[in-house]
Amino acid sequence: MVDFGAILRTIGDFGLFQKIILLGLTLPNVFLPLFFCSFLFMESDPDRHCNTDWILRADSNLTTDEQLNLTLPREDDGTFSKCQMFVPVNWSIGSIREYGLNETAGCQNGWVYFRTLYEATVVTDFDLVCDKSYMAEVVQAIFMSGLLAGSFIFGPTAESWIPESARWLLEQGRTEEANQLIRRVAAINKRKIPDNLLDEVTGGREMKSGGIKAIFTSAVLVKYLLILSFAWFSLNLGYFCVILNVGKFGLNIFLVQFLFGMTEVPAHLLCIWFLELIGRKKSLISTLLTGGVFCLLTLAFPRDCSIVITALVTAGKFFLNWAGSVCLIYIQELFPTSVRQTAVGFGSIAYRGAGLMSPLLNMLAIYHWAIPILVFSSLAVTSGALVFLLPETRRTELPDSANETEGNRNMSTKKMGSDSNVVEQNGRNSTKL
C-alpha cells in the first residue's frame, strides 16, 4: 500500500501551491519586528530629578544649581537623587539656607527629565520610574500576553491544510472529494497523478486521528513533546529577556539594537547549513549550551564593562536565535503526521509563554541584577542537556504513525524508497496508457 507521503511527493511536495502559502506566511513576519521595536526604544532609566519648583515661591531668582542643592539629597556617588526630595517647608529662603532641609520623601510633584534620547516615551509620559519602574515590564508583559492568546485562538486553525483536509475527508468516507482535493493541488503544481495511485492510498487505509490526546497515548511522544517544549521555552525566555533589555547594557541603544539585528540573518542561514552537516540533535544541543554559557559568562564581569557584556550577550542571543530555528524544524520531524501540527502548536504556546514570562523575570533585577541572567541561562543549559535523550531525524522519512516514531524509523526510510518505486512505476503505467 502506498504511503500518504508518496502522494504528496507525486503531486509536488514543494510546488507553486506551497510557494504561494510560504510567501503568504512570510509577510506577517516582516511586520512583527516592527511591533516589538515599538516598545523596545523607551528609556528604562532616564536622567531626571524631582520637581522642586515649590522653593521658587520663597525666591524666584534662584538658579537651577542653587534650587537643586537646596531641595535634593545626594546619593553616595555625589549625584542628586532621582527618586527623593526634601519635604517642602513654608520657610523663608534665608532660613532654608541657614538651617538646611533634612527630612526626605518621594517625589511629590512629578519629575523633571533632561538629556533624554527621545522627546517623549511611555516612561516619561506616565512617570514609570522609581516605585513605578516595574510598570514598563508590565507593559511588555501585556503585549506578550496578546501573542500567547493568539497561539490559543489561532493555533488550532494552523493545521497543515492539504494533508489534514484530505485525511479528514478520508476518515468521513468521502474518498472522491479527497481525490479531487489532491488532484487540484497536483494541477497547481503542474503534476499529474495516476488514478490507481489514489486508489491504493484510499482503499481501506486506516486513518490516524490527531490532537493533543493522541500524543498522550504514547510515552515516547510525551517525552519528545516535553523536552522540545522545555527547550523552546528556555531559549525564548533568554532571547526575550535579552532583547527587552536592549537599553540596559551601558552602550548606545541604537548600536546594541544594530548588533542584535545583524545576528538574525546569519543565525538562520547557518542553521540551514548545519542542519544538514551535523544533524538536528547536535545542532540543538550545541546552540543551547553555547548560548547559555555565553550569557552566564556576563556574570563574571563588573556591570561597568559595557563592551564585554554587550559582546557576550550578543553572542548568546545569536546562538539562542539559532537554536529557535533548529527547534522549529526538529519538533516537526519528530512527530507523526496526524499530530505534527498539534505538537508545533503546543511548542508555540511554550514559546509565547516564555515571551510573557520574560519581562516578569526581568523585574526580579530589582532584587539583584544577576537573577534574570542566572535563571534563563541555567534553563538553556539544562534544556540542551535534555536534548541528548532525543533521536536524530536528519535524512529520515517523516513518521506517519506513533509506531514509526517509537523506533521504526529505519523501516520508514526503507518504506520511502519502496513508495517512490511504486509511484515511479505507476507513473510509467499511466504514461503508457
Distance of CA 402 to the CA centre of its chain: 28
How far, in Å, CA of 201 to CA of 187, rounded? 19
pLDDT category of residue 428 using cuts at 50, 70 and 90: very low
Q: Are 340 and 332 in contact (CB under 8 A)?
A: yes
* Residue type, position 281, single letter: K
- pLDDT, one tens digit per residue, over 127-136 is 888 888 888 7
Give yes or no for residue 5 having a pLDDT over 70: no
Domains of the chain: 50-111 (no CATH), 208-417 (1.20.1250.20)
Among candidate residues 336, 344, 342, the one with its CA nearest the CA of residue 399: 336
How many other C-beta atoms can be found within 10 angstroms of the C-beta atom of residue 148? Answer: 19
> C-alpha grid cell for residue 336?
507523526
How far, in Å, CA of 407 to CA of 294, rounded? 35
How far, in Å, CA of 70 to CA of 102, rounded? 10
- pLDDT, one tens digit per residue, over 95-117 is 999 888 889 999 999 999 988 87
**Average pLDDT of the chain to the nearest whole number:** 79
pTM of the model: 0.72
Q: Specify the residue for cell string 563592551.
A: 307
Antiparallel, parallel or unpaired: β 48-50 and 111-113: antiparallel
